[in-house]
C-alpha cells in the first residue's frame, strides 16, 4: 500500500507498510524525494516510522514530522556530506535504536559510543570514513584490551548501513574492513552436585528475599531480569508453577524502570518444587499485608493503563530494586561464606548442568530455560559435563 503527498520544498513523499516491530507495533517505510544533486542523481531520504495505530491520521502525521525534520536537518547540516559521525550517532540513536531496539540494547550501544567510538570517529565526516580508519580503530582497541570488539564492529556496520539508507553516504566502509574475530565462548562456570549441597547449607542463613531469588535461579533456571520482573500474579500456587512473561528493565536515559518482554519475546511456564512455592506463598502473603499498610507511601511502578505493578521482589515501599542488585548481593554472599565463585547467572547454568547430569530430556530443559530452540540449549551446554562424556566413551569397554 502506497500513499503520495506534496508538501513545501519536498517534491514527493511516499510510504509503504512493512512488518511490525518486535513489540508488534505497526510500521511504515517513508521515502521523501527532494530534487537532484549536481550530477543529476535524485535526492532521497528514508525513514522507518513506528506508529501507535495504523490509520490515515497517524500515517500523515508521521510523514509530516519526517519532512519537518528534514527541513531542520538541512538547516543544521546544509549538505548531507557535512554530517559528522558524532552528529549522525545522535540521529541513529534517536531515530533507529530508541524506536526499533530494546532499552538494554540502547544502553549497550550508548556504552559503545562513549567507550571509544565517539572519541575516535566523532569529528570525522561520515562520507570520508574509510575501511583503513576502521581497521586502525580496532588495532588500537586490541592494544588497550578493550572489550566487546566484535560487537562494536557490528554496531558500526549497522550505523553505516543505516546512513546509506538515509542518504548520507553511498558506501559502507565496514564492507572492506577486517572484521574482528569473535572471541571463543568462555567456559561456563557452574556448581557441581557437591557444591550445590554446600550452597544449600548456606541459604538458610540469608535474608528471605535473597534465599528465594537464589532458589528460583537454581531450581527453575530463570534469568536475573526475569526474577526481578515476577509479579504476584506470576505465581500459581495451585499448580506449583511460575508464569514467566516479563523482565524488569531500567532505562538509563529516561531514568525509569519498566517491564519488558523476555529475551526471546516468548512467555513460558516453569515448574518449581513444592517447598519453594510454599515459601514464596508465605513471603507474598506477608508482603501483601505490609504493602496494604503503606497508604500513600506505597510507591510502585505502573502499567500503561495506570495500574500499580506488584513485584514479588521490590523495596519495602513497592518500588523496584535494580535487577543488577541481585548480582551484587550474590557476590557478597559468595565472599562472606567462602563459596566457589560463579556469577548469579551461573546458578541458571547450574540448573541446566544438574538437569543434564540426571538425564532429564533436553526438550524439557530447553522449555524451562526459555531458549528459542533446542540447538541453543545443545550449543550452550553440550560441553558442560565431562563425566557424562567419559561414561559414554566407556560404553565400548563393555562390548
For residue range 58-117, list pLDDT tens digits in order. Answer: 888 888 888 777 664 554 444 566 789 999 999 999 888 888 888 888 889 999 999 899
Query: Quick one: 193-391 is in which CATH superfamily?
Result: Intergrase catalytic core (1.10.443.10)
Neighbours of 288 (CB within 10 A): 12
pLDDT, residue 394, reads 52
Q: What is the mean pLDDT of residues 175-191?
A: 82
For residue range 309-325, list pLDDT tens digits in order. Answer: 999 999 999 999 998 89
In this prediction the pTM is 0.67
Rounded-to-integer distance, Cα 118 and Cα 25, Å? 31
For residue range 39-55, list pLDDT tens digits in order. Answer: 556 667 888 889 988 88
pLDDT, residue 38, reads 52
The ranges of the chain annotated as CATH 3.10.450 are 1-77
The ranges of the chain annotated as CATH 1.10.150.130 are 79-184
CATH 3.90.1150.10 holds for 79-184: no
For residue range 237-246, list pLDDT tens digits in order. Answer: 999 999 999 9
Rounded-to-integer distance, Cα 303 and Cα 307, Å? 5
The ranges of the chain annotated as CATH 1.10.443.10 are 193-391
Identify the architecture of domain 1-77 in CATH.
Roll (3.10)
The enclosing H or E element of 290 equals helix 274-292
The answer to whether 46 and 30 have CB atoms below 8 angstroms apart is yes
* Residue 84 neighbours by CB under 8 Å, 6+ apart: 122, 123, 124, 125, 126
Q: What is the DSSP letter of 234?
A: G
Amino acid at each position: 500500500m502506497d500513499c503520495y503527498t506534496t508538501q513545501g520544498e519536498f517534491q514527493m513523499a511516499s510510504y509503504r507498510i512493512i512488518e511490525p516491530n518486535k513489540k508488534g507495533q505497526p510500521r511504515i517505510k517513508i521515502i521523501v524525494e527532494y530534487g537532484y544533486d549536481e550530477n543529476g542523481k535524485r535526492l532521497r531520504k528514508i525513514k522507518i516510522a513506528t506508529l501507535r495505530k495504523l490509520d490515515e491520521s497517524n500515517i500523515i502525521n508521521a510523514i509530516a514530522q519526517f519532512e519537518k525534520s528534514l527541513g531542520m536537518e538541512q538547516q543544521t547540516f546544509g549538505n548531507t556530506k557535512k554530517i559528522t559521525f558524532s552528529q549522525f550517532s545522535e540521529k541513529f540513536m534517536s531515530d533507529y535504536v530508541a524506536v526499533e531496539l530494546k532499552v538494554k540494547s540502547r544502553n549497550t550501544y550508548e556504552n559503545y559510543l562513549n567507550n571509544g567510538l565517539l572519541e575516535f570517529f566523532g569529528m570525522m565526516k561520515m562520507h570520508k570514513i574509510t575501511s583503513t580508519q576502521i581497521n586502525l580503530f580496532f588495532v588500537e582497541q586490541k592494544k588497550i584490551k578493550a572489550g566487546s570488539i566484535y560487537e562494536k564492529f557490528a554496531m558500526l556496520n549497522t550505523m553505516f548501513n543505516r546512513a546509506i539508507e538515509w542518504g548520507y553516504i553511498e558506501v559502507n566502509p565496514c564492507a572492506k574492513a577486517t572484521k574482528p574475530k569473535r572471541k571463543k565462548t568462555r567456559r561456563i562456570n557452574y556448581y557441581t552436585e557437591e557444591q550445590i549441597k554446600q550452597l544449600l547449607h548456606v541459604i538458610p542463613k540469608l535474608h528471605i528475599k535473597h534465599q528465594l531469588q537464589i532458589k528460583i535461579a537454581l531450581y527453575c533456571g530463570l534469568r536475573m531480569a526475569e526474577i526481578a520482573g515476577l509479579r504476584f500474579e506470576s505465581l500459581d500456587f495451585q499448580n506449583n508453577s511460575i508464569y514467566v512473561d516479563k523482565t524488569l528493565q531500567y532505562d538509563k536515559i529516561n531514568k525509569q524502570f519498566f517491564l519488558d518482554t523476555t529475551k526471546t519475546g516468548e512467555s513460558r511456564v516453569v515448574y518449581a518444587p513444592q517447598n519453594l512455592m510454599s515459601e514464596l506463598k508465605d513471603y507474598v502473603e506477608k508482603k501483601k499485608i505490609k504493602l496494604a499498610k503503606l497508604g500513600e507511601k506505597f510507591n510502585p511502578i505502573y502499567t500503561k493503563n495506570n495500574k500499580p505493578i506488584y513485584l514479588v521482589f521490590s523495596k519495602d515501599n513497592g518500588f523496584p530494586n535494580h535487577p543488577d542488585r541481585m548480582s551484587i548481593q550474590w557476590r557478597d554472599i559468595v565472599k562472606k561464606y567462602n563459596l566457589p565463585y560463579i556469577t548469579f547467572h551461573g546458578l541458571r547454568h547450574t540448573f541446566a548442568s544438574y538437569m543434564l547430569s540426571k538425564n532429564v530430556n533436553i526438550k524439557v530443559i530447553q522449555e524451562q530455560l526459555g531458549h528459542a530452540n533446542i540447538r541453543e540449549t545443545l550449543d550452550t551446554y553440550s560441553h558442560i559435563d565431562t563425566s557424562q562424556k567419559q561414561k559414554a566413551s566407556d560404553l565400548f569397554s563393555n562390548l
